[in-house]
Structure 1
Amino acid sequence: MEYRMNDKEKEYRVEKDIIGEMKVLKSAYYGSQSLRAKENFHITGLNMHPEIIKNVVYIKKAAAITNFEAGLLDEAISLAIVQACDELLKGRLLEYFIVDPIQGGAGTSLNMNANEVIANRAIEILGGEKGDYSLVNPNDHVNCGQSTNDVIPTAGKMTCYVLLKKALIQLERLKLAFEEKSKEFDHVIKMGRTQLQDAVPIRLGQEFQAYATAVKRDMIRIEKVFEEIRYVNLGGTAIGTGINADEHYMKRIVPKLKEISGIDLIQASDLFDATQSLDSFVAVSGAVKACAVTLSKIASDLRLMSSGPRTGFGEINLPARQNGSSIMPGKVNPVIPEVVNQVAFQIIGNDLTITLAAEAGQLELNAFEPIVFYSLFQSLDTLTNVVETFVDHCITGITANEDRCRQLVENSVGVITALCPHIGYRDSAEIAKEAIRTGRPVRELIIKKGLLSPADVNIVLNPMNMTRPGIAKKSC
């Protein structure tokens, strides 16, 4: 049923800003600047990421406390702002954050949306009516000592910190899942392939251990970028000079924010550089992109190995998750690896957007943080979600078709590689060509030509020995 506002909810208050007068719903906690932004930016149709809202609120709370300590805010106003922030941090009033994630103005719309919501709730706490900014002013009180230009990038880094932690939790689960499968499949011999052609035997467990190693390497790469996002420009205000910020505030704001948020933040030593440059977000995106590339490669491998089930490789079985066709009965598609591929494509595209936006900064500020954050937060969220899906709906349920794997090894001429140290490359190549031409087994041809004794052939062409460096050679 469609919700209809009652008459009281339809009442308006009139607010004034530098553009002019604007009617705002009396019930609304946002003000004229938020409403103008909503009208200006119909871009994604989405709301701001809840995590960056939370981190902007943390900044406002830390600022209210620090500005009171510096003697710049009345105690009652400071306490009211802190209470309003605490309510927001518990999830209240979030519906009044109405601005689009992609917005002009370097994030001013988000900053002012937070300032207005916090101010109007603080006004109520002090016994006033929303819109009476003589009690608590969004700019003079909530935004005291701050600028969009230091608030928004700081909140962006805090958000990256939180979202990266969530991604690492899921990547650790994926690594462990691959390690478990590597143990389970350690005895399964299959044919290795290079350029999609038969190469030499490999154990299925070795392939899965390689996947675990690759994921671990991505985790290490991601862990390194935490150092990039710990350093924030909060206190630098508009361009890094700290204009309008009290000296006590400048020294204490980041430690206070670290204390109340629990995020290990450090104030950048060069606030000008930290305000101008977005390269730290490029570094985060690069690490996320590299991880996405790894996952997509693995997903494609799984699709190949599971292809068939009868006319493809058919070496492994992926869990059946849903019907694969509306017309072909019994068809089951590798939908989970497919979604991993698609998320990777999106992340790779986002990385290009982030790179271009970071490059486009001019002089003392980069105005394109909104698109950087929209793209980067999407990359981090989708990476986390797709890895969780990959683990729960695919990796843990994979089984091996051992007979099929063994059959492909036994019928392959790729095992001929193991003969090179014993009969030489030229004779090995001739045996391979004859085996392909006649369809006769490599083993049979070697013995018939008297190149090796049956006993030596059994050792050299033992597929398990071929997966352990040096064993076959030492045994002969």
Structure 2
Amino acid sequence: MSYRIDKDSLGEVKVPSDAYYGPFAARAKEMYKVTGQRAHINLIRAFVMIKRSAALANKELKALDAKKADAIVKACDEILAGKLLDQFVVEAINSGAGTAFNMNSNEVIANRALEILGKKKGEYEIVSPNDHVNMSQSSNDTFPTAMHVAILLNMEEADRSLSVLINSLKKKAKEFEDAIKIGRTHLMDAIPVTLGAEFEEYAYSLARAQKRMREAMDGLREVGLGGTAVGTGANTPKGYRELAIKHLSEVSKLKLKPSDNMFYSLQSKFDVANASSALRNVAIELTKMANDIRLMACGPVAGLAEVLIPAVHAGSSIMPGKVNPSLAECLNMVCFNVIGNDVSVAMAAQAGQFELNVMLPGMLKSMLDSTDMLKNFLPVFAENMIDGIKANREKLESYIEKSPVLVTLLNPYIGYLKAAEIYKEALKTNKSIRELVLEKKLMTKADLDKALSKESILGAG
């Protein structure tokens, strides 16, 4: 491999000749061997969009030479089109405040801009990663801004995936609206409900969680770009902040706006922590639903077997014909990871000191991991689990007929204490409520049929 010698403020560094990254990234590549994972594509996109927007703003304000600005913008457009992505070599978790990744971005863009201008990589006196690509910026304002952009891009996809699942649940609620089943409280038999009502509740709870998630996304639309090192906006031309954010809003297609308080945007990570907690709450609702489905499907002989789930693959390597709720189990694991990531975000959010929170790369990785899992898996779960679930109507009806809890519906006719006696006797003798009430002549057949009718069972609901 051939090398070139690049220079930065620490001195000379050997960099592969064909590399577009420079000395800072070359050093960081060796220092931050943490996860084995490169930065997320949406973080790369977010940073490149910021550099593009900054170059345009600086050009319009006559702070940056037009030819250099145009070369920087063209380099950014190429990267946004999918080129040079392998040159972003700094890992997902890197230096405090993400300085290493910011400089990796600056160097790749600078070296490509140099080529566009007909120059050689490393001729930083012509296009400098610091003086030109990073003009009017600091890692301290670009990384928090890139965080918001990257998280928003991912959350928008997660939001669409959640909508797919909610729609599937609504369709199942309609399909099962007449499937009466035993309700359960404390895992014990309770007043009957419909299978449709249960699926409708899953859809409703997730829709409420989705609403909170969208509200949290709105908080991320305020960005601190232009605050530079500590929020003062030092080294930026007048009008830069508004102009740069306008360009960033346009290229990202996100409705971004300047923060009302730049110091807040660099110090506090409330908006990221709030978005993380919204994801956690979605995960809590999802895992409760997954647990219910696993319980309803358990069997087919020695369990509840209230629903029949689609087979997505063989359930066992040794037991032929076994069908497991594998996708629901996978959803559980996704949710546990999302909840764990929220703890990481919370710890990082409180760990800032004075004018800067430096735990940003770790926070961002957690957020992007959570949204990746949700956006990727929820449509799979909707299509291959929810859409294929069938009600085991024969089993549901048999539970209704045999359940002593139906005696609750007779309270207005025979009273609580007499109903309790009938309940206990039904369990002891294995006779149905209907049999015992008629046998003891506690009600007429007509009154009993009315009390235990479908309309009475479902009540006002």
Report TM bin, short chain. over 0.9
After TM superposition, the structure 1 = structure 2 runs for residues 58-137 of structure 1, keeping only pairs within 5 Å, are 58-137=49-128
RMSD: 1.1
Match of 1:377 in 2: 368
Residue 190 of structure 1 aligns to a residue whose secondary structure is strand
Q: Which amino acid aligns with 2:459?
A: R
- Mapped partners of 1:182, 1:227: distance in 2: 31
Per the TM alignment, residue 463 of structure 1 is displaced from its structure 2 partner at its CA by 4.1
Q: Which amino acid aligns with 1:230?
A: R
Match of 1:159 in 2: 150
Match of 1:421 in 2: 412
Match of 2:189 among 177, 185, 198: 198
Contact 1:201–1:463 (Cα < 8 Å) also in 2:
no
Match of 1:171 in 2: 162
Residue 97 of structure 2 aligns to a residue whose secondary structure is coil
Match of 1:352 among 329, 343, 348: 343
Match of 1:389 in 2: 380
1:79-101 CA distances to partner (integer Å, 9 max, x unpaired)?
Answer: 00000000000000000000000
Match of 1:300 in 2: 291
Residue 403 of structure 1 aligns to a residue whose secondary structure is helix
After TM superposition, the structure 1 = structure 2 runs for residues 240-259 of structure 1, keeping only pairs within 5 Å, are 240-259=231-250
Is it true that 1:452 corresponds to 2:443 in the alignment?
Answer: yes
Match of 1:236 in 2: 227
Contact 1:435–1:445 (Cα < 8 Å) also in 2:
yes
Is it true that 1:366 corresponds to 2:361 in the alignment?
Answer: no
Match of 1:411 among 402, 408, 411: 402
Q: Which amino acid aligns with 2:303?
A: G
Contact 2:52–2:73 (Cα < 8 Å) also in 1:
yes
Match of 1:6 in 2: none
- Mapped partners of 2:158, 2:265: distance in 1: 25
Contact 1:305–1:314 (Cα < 8 Å) also in 2:
yes
- Mapped partners of 2:407, 2:454: distance in 1: 11
Is it true that 1:39 corresponds to 2:30 in the alignment?
Answer: yes
1:434-473 CA distances to partner (integer Å, 9 max, x unpaired)?
Answer: 1111111111211222221111011111245211328xxx
- Mapped partners of 1:74, 1:179: distance in 2: 57
After TM superposition, the structure 1 = structure 2 runs for residues 272-287 of structure 1, keeping only pairs within 5 Å, are 272-287=263-278
1:416-442 CA distances to partner (integer Å, 9 max, x unpaired)?
Answer: 111112221111111101111111111
Is it true that 1:317 corresponds to 2:308 in the alignment?
Answer: yes
1:172-223 CA distances to partner (integer Å, 9 max, x unpaired)?
Answer: 1111111111111112111111111111111111111111111111111111
Which ranges of structure 2 fall in alignment gaps of 5 or more residues?
none
How many residues align? The count is 461
Residue 243 of structure 1 aligns to a residue whose secondary structure is coil
Match of 2:11 among 8, 13, 20: 20
- Mapped partners of 2:239, 2:392: distance in 1: 68
Contact 2:96–2:360 (Cα < 8 Å) also in 1:
no
Q: Which amino acid aligns with 1:316?
A: V
- Mapped partners of 1:101, 1:82: distance in 2: 25
1:316-365 CA distances to partner (integer Å, 9 max, x unpaired)?
Answer: 11110111111212112110000000000000100000000000110000
Q: Which amino acid aligns with 2:365?
A: Y
Contact 1:17–1:32 (Cα < 8 Å) also in 2:
yes
Of 97-106 and 461-470, the range deviating more from structure 2: 461-470
- Mapped partners of 1:16, 1:367: distance in 2: 26
- Mapped partners of 1:60, 1:247: distance in 2: 18
Per the TM alignment, residue 114 of structure 1 is displaced from its structure 2 partner at its CA by 0.5
1:376-428 CA distances to partner (integer Å, 9 max, x unpaired)?
Answer: 00001101112111111100001111001100111111111111122211111
- Mapped partners of 2:80, 2:219: distance in 1: 26
Question: With structure 1 as the length reference, what TM-score do the two structures score?
Answer: 0.95
Residue 244 of structure 1 aligns to a residue whose secondary structure is coil
Question: With structure 2 as the length reference, what TM-score do the two structures score?
Answer: 0.98
Match of 2:206 among 210, 215, 219: 215
Residue 351 of structure 1 aligns to a residue whose secondary structure is helix
Contact 1:413–1:442 (Cα < 8 Å) also in 2:
yes
Contact 1:279–1:358 (Cα < 8 Å) also in 2:
yes
- Mapped partners of 1:144, 1:73: distance in 2: 8
Q: Which amino acid aligns with 1:360?
A: A
Match of 1:4 in 2: none
Q: Which amino acid aligns with 2:101?
A: L
- Mapped partners of 2:370, 2:215: distance in 1: 18
Contact 1:161–1:226 (Cα < 8 Å) also in 2:
yes
Match of 2:323 in 1: 332
Contact 1:278–1:358 (Cα < 8 Å) also in 2:
yes
- Mapped partners of 2:377, 2:105: distance in 1: 31
Percent identity at matched positions? Answer: 44
| Alignment CA distance shift 1:464-1:385 (3 Å) | farther
Contact 1:276–1:365 (Cα < 8 Å) also in 2:
yes
Contact 1:201–1:467 (Cα < 8 Å) also in 2:
yes
Of 199-208 and 88-97, the range deviating more from structure 2: 199-208
Q: Which amino acid aligns with 1:109?
A: A
Q: Which amino acid aligns with 1:231?
A: E
